[in-house]
Structure 1
């Protein structure tokens, strides 16, 4: 089939480009070559590829059942006719056509044998697939980027939030959650810089067992509260009395807002040691600092009566 837009080959090299170099000292060096060897009129922009972010928006709307005509209208609603639009006011979504939408639609409904080319669409379709089976559905909450849903909960269109808990995790949470609930966060493990927040319980072998996960682009009291609320809706009978986490108060506040103000907060060993040593360096001299740090390490693993005797001795 002949490409109605025509070929974008120019049989020559276009030197126009922008080279950006970010240095270690934080400065940025930019080299801009503005010379083109071909026409750069507004009509030529139809040869530009529609970004994956916009394709993901189209896929999301199609999956939610939004008609193609309505999707096209939403992209155009703040723009006039392509031929007469002010160049300075144009945006990439204004170049979306019905052909682009149909292309995404064909790809979307052919994913039973072919994977999506972008991560956003793959994730969305995987979530929908998991949600299709109520008996095994692990998804507790899902909000895709570029979606305006859940604004009443404090989420922005750019936010991503996924909460999931399997049936086995639910069983372990109900069995051991009342002992103590642990919360941990992992950063810098993916190219999108999303955070992974994990809830853990301590099983009968005194080992940590993850019972729920939250993947999100932001980690604050708002998103953590949605995470905890989602878990609470899945297991409403489980009572949480103790929380162990880091020294970030956002998680503790979120848990208390769901399970009540009687929840007690404990810091993990690493944060206890870090806080102690930070204050030792602040208030103690170099002469006795090493001895104090050694004693604190011993105290951390001692019984309560040993700690009491030591405190009486030094006081």
Structure 2
């Protein structure tokens, strides 16, 4: 049987049922035994041509008036007539309305429901071209079928149940006419009080659902949608009293409801509910584009689908996905003439050991531009080298002037192994300072000595003359070999061999005036704060879509800036704010050390930090887009600068560079 109802009817009429009751419906003309009443009525009409008057028996509906003898009715129409004639009840007369379309009827139905705080639900499908809508209060409160046992545990909504075995006469009968119009018979009388508290049990109207779906399609935030649905009577200017507010279903929509609907919408757009399968189909779609942006794709537990030579031998438990659009490759070729910044970040996907690697360069406006991304389950040279090897195969003429990373050697080793050459490597100064501070505290226990040694390390790091650097190094080793022998061993054996990567005297060649990896760190902050809203991402395919969206946004911003030959209003506004803030620095907080070097005290009240300001050139570079002639200084668009103004006696504007001391 297709359903429980059919099975129940069959059991009652089955000839093998011992307890089967004899049928009351026997045709007198042909003697046929028919178990079901409505089939019997149709049979009699067809067999004899006579109309059968059926006794429906005792009904289940009772008269709401107590001590009424006529208290059992089969149909609501009979009960309505009884109340009107016998009890002279104040009943509203039925209304007949004609509508041109179902949409027009639905709009009218919604207005009726809003006025009476009620809801009419369709109990059955079409029957002989008719549909019936009954008040939500009407019906049994039982959540199970008639012959079924009730549930052992209740799982009802905390809002409670709207049905409490009450009787309500309000209903709508809808009939489709031959000309396409709709005829509605509406009985507006309710046998219960209509209260605003019933709204919490009612679904949203069709118009509201369509509005929410349209807003979500436009990527409107859920909070904004809820505010738009809210009635104007809630605004401060319109608040008279709580009793004056006309409560509607739209006022009860919660942000959580919209968020869940948005999640389901996004889920329906995915290729599959399984993350790995969805990523596979997404990558396949990208590979079929005119320019294939996928550099390498190695699913976990499977062989490499696309990648450079040698990637087919990657371990089975490795996951690696890297992509780079054509525009990103072009920007990388141009930006690597100065410097390439590489760094990894975590917390972009639900897998703890999966890292996101990002590559950044400076564009012609000196702003960061992402030129490649890789998601990997392992961050070692053996895996990441294939990302750069794939880039090298796409662009054999790629030349990297300089590469800056943190103090993790796996990144630069991957670059060198993938490109097949030794790239000039610099370490992030911020990471260098953090590393040296940590090791000083580990090896030195006296606080005064810690500050003293760190000051010497800062001088060594910022010393621009190689001869002077070597003298300072020898002097430090000679003087502190007995004061802190363990740190001296660390400095001589571990830190000093990397001097070519962190010492200022070895970083004098042109490298885009970039001393830190803040280009990438800033991108990580934009990714997690602006795009991810600091909400954890739970799928790799969503991260892939997000990175592609970011790529499109950066391309749009840069293309518009190039065509207009100026930065965007937002970028220029941020730059101007820093410039004006730098102009407000007190002269007493600026100390000139030499002809081209100044110290600037931090303007934070709770900070004792100082910054070193160095004049790098006597003439402005081409990337200086704005000149402040009032103060004879340039406003550099570099996001790593902390001070943008330098008072000088020269009439020629000067470019400046700032380093934390």
Scaled by the length of structure 1, the TM-score of the pair is: 0.56
Distance 1:167 1:225 in 2: 20
C-alpha displacement at 1:237, in angstroms? 1.0
Q: Would you say 1:129 and 2:289 are equivalent positions? A: no
Alignment counterpart, residue 120 of structure 1, candidates 236, 252, 276:
276
Confirm whether residue 186 of structure 1 aligns to residue 336 of structure 2: no
Q: Secondary structure at the match of 1:304?
A: coil
Deviation at 1:145, TM superposition (A): 2.0
1:208 to 356, 360, 368: 368
Say whether the 8 Å CA contact 1:178–1:238 is kept in structure 2. no
- Shift in Å, 1:175: 0.4
Kindly state the Cα deviation for residue 167 of structure 1 after the two structures are TM-superposed: 2.0
Relative to structure 1, the CA distance from residue 149 to residue 138 in structure 2 (aligned partners, 3 Å threshold; closer, same or farther) is closer
Deviation at 1:114, TM superposition (A): 6.7
Partner residue, 2:454:
293
SS in 2 for 1:201: strand
Write the distance in 2 (CA, Å) between the matches of 1:223 and 1:314: 40
Matched with 2:417 is 257
TM-aligned CA deviation for residue 213 of structure 1? 0.6
Query: Which is bigger in relative contact order (C-alpha 8 A, separation at least 6)?
Result: 1
Shift of 1:221: 0.9
Aligned in 2, Cα 1:313/1:181: closer, same or farther, shift over 3 Å? closer
Report what 2:293 is aligned to: 138
1:76-87 superposed matches below 5 A:
none
Change (3 A) 1:259 1:148: closer
SS at match of 2:333: helix
Q: Does structure 1 conserve the Cα–Cα contact (< 8 Å) formed by 2:343 and 2:405?
A: yes
Q: CA deviation at 1:189?
A: 2.6
Are the equivalent residues in 1 in contact too, given 2:270–2:278 (CA < 8 A)? no
**Structure 2 residue 375 is the aligned partner of structure 1 residue 227:** no
Give the 5 Å matches for 1:93-172: 115-135=271-291, 137-149=292-304, 153-172=312-331
How far apart are the structure 2 equivalents of 1:12 and 1:248?
60
Instruction: Quote the offset at 1:278 in angstroms.
Output: 3.1
1:273 aligns with 2:430: no
Task: List alignment gaps of at least 5 residues for structure 1.
Answer: 3-10, 14-110
SS in 2 for 1:127: helix
Distance 1:114 1:250 in 2: 34
The answer on whether the counterparts of 1:160 and 1:216 sit within 8 Å (CA) in structure 2 is yes
Larger-gyration structure (1/2): 2
Aligned to 1:174: 333
C-alpha displacement of 1:270: 2.6
Q: Is the 8 A contact 1:170 1:211 kept in 2?
A: yes
Return the alpha-carbon distance in structure 2 between the equivalents of residues 306 and 188 of structure 1.
41
Per-residue CA deviations over 1:183-227 (Å, capped at 9, x if unaligned) read: 101123321232101122233344332211111111111211111
Partner of 2:580: none
Alpha-carbon distance, 1:273 to partner: 0.8
Deviations 1:104-138 (A, max 9, x none): xxxxxxx9977411111221111111111123x31
For 1:142 and 1:244, the matched residues in 2 are separated by 26
Q: Secondary structure at the match of 2:357?
A: strand
- Please, which moves more after superposition, 291-300 or 176-185? 291-300
The CA distance in 2 between the partners of 1:303 and 1:216, in whole Å, is 38
What residue number does 1:95 align with? Answer: none
Matched positions, count: 209
CA deviation after TM superposition for structure 1 residue 279, in Å: 3.6
Between the aligned partners of 2:440 and 2:345, the Cα distance in structure 1 is: 28
TM-score under structure 2 length normalisation: 0.28
Deviations 1:129-174 (A, max 9, x none): 1111123x31111122231337864422232111101122111101
Whether the 8 Å contact between 1:144 and 1:161 is mirrored in structure 2 is yes
- Kindly indicate whether the alpha-carbon contact (under 8 Å) linking 1:196 and 1:213 is maintained by their aligned counterparts in 2: yes
Within the candidate set 248, 255, 268, 2:408 is matched to: 248
Counterparts of 1:270 and 1:283, CA distance in 2: 20
Deviations along 1:59-117, one digit per CA (max 9) or x if unpaired, are: xxxxxxxxxxxxxxxxxxxxxxxxxxxxxxxxxxxxxxxxxxxxxxxxxxxx9977411
Q: Distance in 2 between matches of 1:286 and 1:113?
A: 59
